[in-house]
A and B are shown apart, each in its own frame.
Chain A
């Protein structure tokens, strides 16, 4: 049982268990709290339609706020799209997913993934600098923000080191990479990274509320 076997075996297994348990814990911990019905006369029906609408529309800023939020929005999107591409279009990852769920799809060439990965890390660093320098972000940021940043960046960085290697053996780097993913999976449900699913619950709630009122979503 060398480091790689440990990482690929028990470590990842436990991480996935913790991720599933943690996520359900947190989601149900929110959804099962008391729920007050809204008796007000709806201006128009379709609360559910409103929820879906906002889940989609709130991904984009309204023209009124475009100017002020242009910079963080662009960086945020590059980060998210970069993460999405590196995770879901890197062939070894696809093969991993295929091993789990049996579905696979064509991937991108590795050089493209390395490029996207580097850009994503660069943007990640830019966003961290912004969080540490922008007065608003300095005030409202806490341990969760900074640690979640690290936990998200580690898999990317360790993944990018693998082709470069810096003299370290490949299977050691692969093990470290998988352990960093395990850390991410374990940390996610207990941190702001849970916005992975809460963004839908939260946007949906607002969407349903505003759609009933016929207000701008």
Chain B
């Protein structure tokens, strides 16, 4: 058993945390399909045995879409192998995990551009349009 080997959970699958979680995801998917109700599962407060988190991640696998967010540290929003089941992982500037969720939704909230940012972006775009940057000025001058 060297350090490189992946840590195997001592708890058999039938008794650990992974199986009930998968079951919970299934019910969440039913709710999503039947009454369009999203669910967020906070993985931080679950007593995972060593290796169980990795086992969960492997079981869910990865799907077609992965997004990366760079705000107050890196965050990864990845659709798992099961459409509608998203793996969201926030890290802070120190690279430490500050939040890890499984979101069962059409698209996690965090991906949406926020009105405040859109407004600010529009203003900035407008400013750069009024007084284009050096490259654009040069282009306009010729």
Please say whether the chains A and B touch (CB closer than 8 A): no
Interface positions of A (Cβ within 8 A of B): none
Interface positions of B (Cβ within 8 A of A): none
